[in-house]
Amino acid sequence: ETGVTQSPTHLIKTRGQQVTLRCSSQSGHNTVSWYQQALGQGPQFIFQYYREEENGRGNFPPRFSGLQFPNYSSELNVNALELDDSALYLCASNQIGGPSTDTQYFGPGTRLTVL
């Protein structure tokens, strides 16, 4: 167990709806990154949050947005859901400025199904 938690575990939505996924980082970690993993593929970087600001973004449209809170927890919001958004959404945390500053630890993930 890494200490990174995510909720909910599973979620079913219909096309066009909006979804919010939540993540609590490991104790002592100040950075949260979100990844999307489609079946049979490696995780794809969505974005990272550090000090409550977006600190890098992958090739995802603006309908993917996020937040980081003062306690370093984070939310991923996806608007106007599409069928291709069905995937495992992973949150990872690390400590920028720490001894292994870029070593990321993953939470258990949220499985999103869009019908």
Partner 1 sequence: QKEVEQNSGPLSVPEGAIASLNCTYSDRGSQSFFWYRQYSGKSPELIMFIYSNGDKEDGRFTAQLNKASQYVSLLIRDSQPSDSATYLCAVRAGGTSYGKLTFGQGTILTVHP
Could you list the residues that contact partner 1 (CB under 8 A)?
Answer: 2, 31, 33, 35, 40-45, 47-48, 50, 55-56, 58, 88, 90, 92, 94, 96, 100-109
Q: How far is the CB of 6 from partner 1 (least distance, A)?
A: 9
> Which CB sits closer to partner 1, 14 or 103?
103
Take residue 21 and report the two structure tokens written for it: 């996924």
Query: What's the min distance (Å) between Cβ of 60 and partner 1?
Result: 12
Question: Of 66 and 114, which has the nearer Cβ to partner 1?
Answer: 66
Q: How far apart are CA 93 and CA 105, in angstroms?
A: 5
Q: Is the peptide bond before 8 cis (omega within 30 degrees of 0)?
A: yes
Work out how close the CB of 31 gets to partner 1 at its nearest, in angstroms, rounded to a whole number: 6
